[in-house]
């Protein structure tokens, strides 16, 4: 019997659904998982990049998301849509990675003002105008804005994800929009 | 999840209609996909064989240990150089009281450390960057304590010593969490 690793990746691309690829990947098929990566990494990277506001961290976040996906893919319930499941998993993983990254600096630079730890902002021309402004927002405000405005989450979902009050989520979103409007005007 | 279609709490507070419209247009036109600058697959693929390994990034903990060492080296050197300036020629009664306080705090801290280490005693993590970071902190805290006993009225040394103890406890708790995570990761439910 031909092993799934031997199947040409283009064949997987053309003939196999996400659910089928997930099943193959859950059985340890790296080619199938690679195909899932090829299909979805840009979407995951978009979330990661907007959360992180810079490429280096976005790449780390994206990698962590796919490692998490590999470790959890056997828990994918075939009755739900793979993209929805993947999106939720990646958003949670991205938030966790961002928290770990944040506490890393807090832990070792206790006397430093956290506001001085703002990451470099990406200003490359190829990015959408909104992304150039989003990265200037403070971290938590940025994550709330991305989740609500771009990813379509509700405030109660965001509050639950970030472990904050719903009012705080609304406040962050309101201030983010204010700041972005000021940048645009 | 359903996308928020209206934000009534924003409309009243908006500065002007034009930038808001512009912002809304930008949001609507923002791409849902962005191409990474580098091919991330090789780095991901390299870690796929560690399917059952903890999700904690080894490189990150290596960075943590390095950052801890550098920070401590700078702080201890700086404080060590300053300590002789404040050395008393003769121990005053206040100094004796402070030295007594130092001993008591050190004892309580040692007990707390011992308690936290029980959980991870059986985990052989020699060479683990986090463990190395804890060991570095222990050495630095001992040095700071020695310096403080020579200059018990030096406030900066006090701050440094207490901070080192806090960091030590914090990292030990982190290590315990990792230990718990490793022990429990195969019993996780179906939640993401």
Q: How many domains does chain A have?
A: 2
| Same-domain check for residues A19 and A102 | yes
Of residues B132 and A81, more confidently modeled: A81
Last residue of a domain, one of A89, A114, A139: A114
| Same-domain check for residues A107 and A162 | no
Q: Where are the domains of chain B?
A: 95-182
How close does chain B come to A48, measured CA to CA in Å? 10
In degrees, rounded to 5, the angle at the alpha carbon of residue A73 between the alpha carbons of residues A72 and A78 is 130
3-state secondary structure B58-74: HHHHHHHHHHHHHHHHH
Rg (CA), chain A: 19
| Same-domain check for residues A76 and A108 | yes
> What is the H or E stretch that residue A24 is in?
helix A18-26
How far is it between the farthest Cα atoms of chain B?
75
**Dist CA A70 CA A28 (whole Å):** 9
pLDDT in tens, A69-110: 999 999 998 888 999 999 999 999 999 988 877 655 555 555
| Same-domain check for residues A53 and A27 | yes
Please report, for the domain that includes residue A127, its CATH number.
1.10.10
Give residue A77's Cα distance to chain centre. 21
Contact A85, A77 (CB under 8 A): yes
> In chain B, what is the straight-line distance between the N-terminal and C-terminal CA atoms, in Å?
16
| Same-domain check for residues A15 and A89 | yes
Please report, for the domain that includes residue A55, its CATH number.
1.10.1740.10
Tell me what pLDDT residue A158 has: 95
In degrees, rounded to 5, the angle at the alpha carbon of residue A24 between the alpha carbons of residues B185 and A29 is 80
Last residue of a domain, one of A60, A88, A114: A114
Q: What is the pTM of this model?
A: 0.56
CB contact under 8 Å between A181 and B192, yes or no, is no
Domain that holds residue A139: 121-185
Candidate from A30, A77, A155 with C-beta closest to B45: A30
| Same-domain check for residues A92 and A6 | yes
> Which residues, at least 6 apart from A134, have a Cβ–Cβ distance to it below 8 Å?
A50, A53, A142, A145, A146, A180
Determine the residue among B30, B53, B177 to mutate to test chain A binding: the one whose Cβ has the most chain A Cβ atoms within 10 Å.
B30
Write the DSSP symbol of residue A114. Answer: G
- Cα dihedral sign, A69-A74-A77-A80: positive
- Cα dihedral sign, B178-B180-B182-B184: negative
| Same-domain check for residues A18 and A75 | yes
Task: Kindly report the average pLDDT of chain B as a whole number.
Answer: 69
pLDDT category at B191 given cuts 50, 70, 90 is very low
| Same-domain check for residues A96 and A126 | no
| Same-domain check for residues A29 and A63 | yes
**Dist CA B42 CA A56 (whole Å):** 16
| Same-domain check for residues A88 and A37 | yes
Last residue of a domain, one of A114, A142, A171: A114
| Same-domain check for residues A7 and A96 | yes
**Residues in chain A closer than 8 A to B71 (CB atoms):** 108-109
Q: Is the ipTM of this complex over 0.95?
A: no
For A22, A173, B129, the CA distances from B61, given in Å and listed in that order, are 31, 33, 6
| Same-domain check for residues A91 and A21 | yes
């Amino acid at each position: 019997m031909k092993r799934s690793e031997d199947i040409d990746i283009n064949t997987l691309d053309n003939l196999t659904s996400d659910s089928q690829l997930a099943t193959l990947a859950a059985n340890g098929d790296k080619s199938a998982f690679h195909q899932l990566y090829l299909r979805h990494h840009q979407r995951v990277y978009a979330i990661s990049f907007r959360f992180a506001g810079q490429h280096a961290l976005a790449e780390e976040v994206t990698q962590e998301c796919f490692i998490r996906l590999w470790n959890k893919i056997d828990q994918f319930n075939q009755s739900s849509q793979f993209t929805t499941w993947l999106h939720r998993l990646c958003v949670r993983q991205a938030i966790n990675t961002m928290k770990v990254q944040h506490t890393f600096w807090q832990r070792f630079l206790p006397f430093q003002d956290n506001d001085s730890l703002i990451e470099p902002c990406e200003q490359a021309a190829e990015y959408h105008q909104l992304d150039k402004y989003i990265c200037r927002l403070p971290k938590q405000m940025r994550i709330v804005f991305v989740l609500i405005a771009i990813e379509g989450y509700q405030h109660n979902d965001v509050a639950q994800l970030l472990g904050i009050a719903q009012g705080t989520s609304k406040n962050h979103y309101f201030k983010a929009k204010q700041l972005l409007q000021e940048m645009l005007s | 999840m359903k996308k928020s279609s209206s934000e009534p709490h924003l409309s009243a507070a908006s500065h002007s209609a034009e930038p808001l419209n512009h912002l809304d247009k930008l949001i609507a036109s923002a791409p849902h996909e962005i191409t990474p600058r580098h091919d991330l697959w090789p780095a991901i693929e390299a870690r796929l064989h560690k399917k059952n390994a903890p999700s904690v990034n080894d490189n990150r903990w290596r960075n943590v240990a390095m950052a801890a060492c550098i920070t401590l080296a700078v702080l201890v050197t700086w404080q060590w150089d300053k300590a002789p300036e404040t050395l008393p020629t003769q121990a005053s009664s206040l100094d004796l009281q402070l030295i007594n306080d130092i001993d008591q705090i050190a004892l309580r801290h040692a007990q707390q450390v011992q308690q936290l280490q029980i959980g991870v005693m059986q985990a052989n993590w020699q060479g683990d960057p986090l463990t190395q970071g804890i060991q570095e902190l222990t050495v630095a805290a001992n040095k700071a304590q020695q310096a403080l006993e020579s200059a018990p009225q030096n406030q900066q040394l006090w701050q440094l010593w207490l901070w080192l103890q806090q960091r030590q406890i914090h990292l030990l708790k982190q290590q315990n969490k990792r230990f718990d995570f490793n022990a429990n990761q195969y019993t996780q439910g179906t939640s993401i």
